[in-house]
Amino acid sequence: MTDNLEQLIKEAVEKALEGDMDAINNIEDRVTRSKAKAALVKAKREAVKEKTEASLDDNSESVSDSKKDKTSNEHIAELLIQQFPDDINKELSSNEHIQIQPKNWLIISIYLRDDPGCLFDSLQCITGVDLGEESDLEVRYNLHSMTHRHAVEIRISCPRNKAKVPSVESIWRIGDWFERETYDMYGIEFEGHRDLKRILLPEDWEGWPLRKDYEVQETYHGIIVPKVKEGWE
Amino acid sequence: MGVFENKFQDNVVVASLDKLLGWARSTSPWFFQFGLACCAIEMMATAASRHDLMRIGMIPRSSPRQADVMIVAGTVTLKMALRVKKLYEQMANPKYVISMGSCATSGGPYWQHGYHVLKGVDLVVPVDVYVPGCPPRPEALIEGLLKLQEKIQSERPLTRKTA
């Protein structure tokens, strides 16, 4: 008797999974009917679980595949070279960063933010670098995409006496303060910034403190700034 | 003591006005509540219940007009030096300054390469007591404050100065 019932429930559930709910609804005994419905719910849940597991496996495989091939930097570099062949400095780029000419930086940044393959929604850092008195200044941008979970480093160098780089403050809002800080410390002017002024030092400060050729001012508002030379050197 | 000897009852105290003023000033030096860096955390700890500055008569005041002592607690940057000077000028006489910690005293770790740090707050305002330490423990600050109280006590505000 019980074997018969189990057989009945099994058949009804199989039919219901194919879309025929009448097979369960037509069972006359109330207890058997509810048992069949419970079995149906269980069967459906397991089906969903198997499906998601399978899709997760697919995803992890595809991610590891793309990582095996190349770093995200190289991947983005390829995209940029396709789109802006004249603005990428291939010799100075490496697999860790992309060197860019300053001229079209604003357009490139819009591409980096909006292109479905890039989608860099977060500007994580802007750093100024002074590579020594003989060489140029450099600005470095660290970008990150929450959608693709990849990151890229963009470098733009500019001459010391005419340090000008297009502003990306209108693309990533955080660029406002990052660029003001870089301007404060290195004197790099970001063209197109709405309110480019010093952010940390007082507005009447002379010089750019993190440049290698910086000289400490002798007085500040009548306060003598002694230059301590003896000691560790 | 010839003239006044045995003339007064127990509840009358006889003292010189100078000494009386010194006593009154030294036992309630209200300090100006502002901090510039990590030393301010130690200053807060000193004022809190464990060390309890109020038992030596010190109460933090939030306005320079009501304060007698300015505790410069922390690194004084050149940008801040102008403000510190202005705050000192806003305090009413008699006023005293305590330089707390090595930054306020000499620039501390920034004494050589800190382009933005004032090398000692005494370049801007006159300092009465220097408290060493980085940052000084509350006991050290209290020691400095007791030293300041001794200094105030020994002042003779009414005596004509003969130089």
CA separation for the pair B30, B65 (Å, rounded): 11
Cβ distance of B123 and A228 shorter than 8 Å: no
Percent of chain B with pLDDT over 90: 60
Cβ-nearest to B112 among A209, A223, A228: A228
Mean pLDDT estimate for chain A: 82
Strands B96-100 and A164-166, how do they pair?
A: unpaired
Strand order in the sheet with A150-158: A98-99, A150-158, A137-145, A122-130
Calculate what percentage of chain A has a pLDDT beyond 70: 87
Q: Which residues are paired to A130 by β-bridges?
A: A137
pLDDT digits (tens, 9 = 90+) for B69-128: 999 999 999 999 999 999 999 999 889 999 999 999 988 888 877 888 888 898 899 999
A47 pLDDT above the threshold of 80? no
pLDDT in tens, A141-179: 999 999 888 889 999 999 888 889 999 999 999 999 999
**Per-residue confidence band for A89, with pLDDT thresholds at 50, 70 and 90:** confident
| Confidence tier at A64 by pLDDT (50, 70, 90) | very low
Residue A65's pLDDT is 47
Q: Which of B102, B112, B124 best tests the A interface by mutation, with the highest count of A CBs <10 A?
A: B112
Asked whether the beta carbons of residue B119 and residue A221 sit closer than 8 angstroms, the reply is no
- How far apart are alpha carbons A37 and A25 in whole angstroms? 9
Q: CA of A220, closest CA in chain B: separation in Å?
A: 7
Confidence at residue A161, expressed as pLDDT on a 0 to 100 scale: 86
Specify the amino acid at residue A13. Answer: V
Q: Which residues of A touch B115 (CB under 8 A)?
A: 209, 214, 216
Q: Which sequence spans correspond to the domains of chain A?
A: 2-53, 70-220
Whether the per-residue pLDDT at B143 is higher than 90: the answer is yes
pTM: 0.71
A63: left (phi over 0), alpha (psi -120 to 50) or beta: alpha
- How close B118 gets to chain A, by Cα (Å)? 7
Most A CBs within 10 A among B115, B119, B124, hence the mutation to make, goes to B115
- Tell if the CB–CB gap between A209 and B116 is shorter than 8 Å: yes
Instruction: List the CATH code of the domain at A70-220.
Output: 3.30.460.80
CA-nearest of B92, B113, B50, B101 to B74 is B101
Q: Chain A: give the shortest CA distance to residue B149, in Å.
A: 30
**Residue A57: pLDDT over 70:** no
Q: ipTM of this complex > 0.90? A: no
- pLDDT grade for A77, boundaries at 50, 70 and 90: confident
Q: How high is the pLDDT of residue B75?
A: 93
pLDDT category, A31, cuts 50, 70, 90?
Answer: confident
Q: Mind telling me how many Å the CA of A222 is from chain B's nearest CA? A: 10
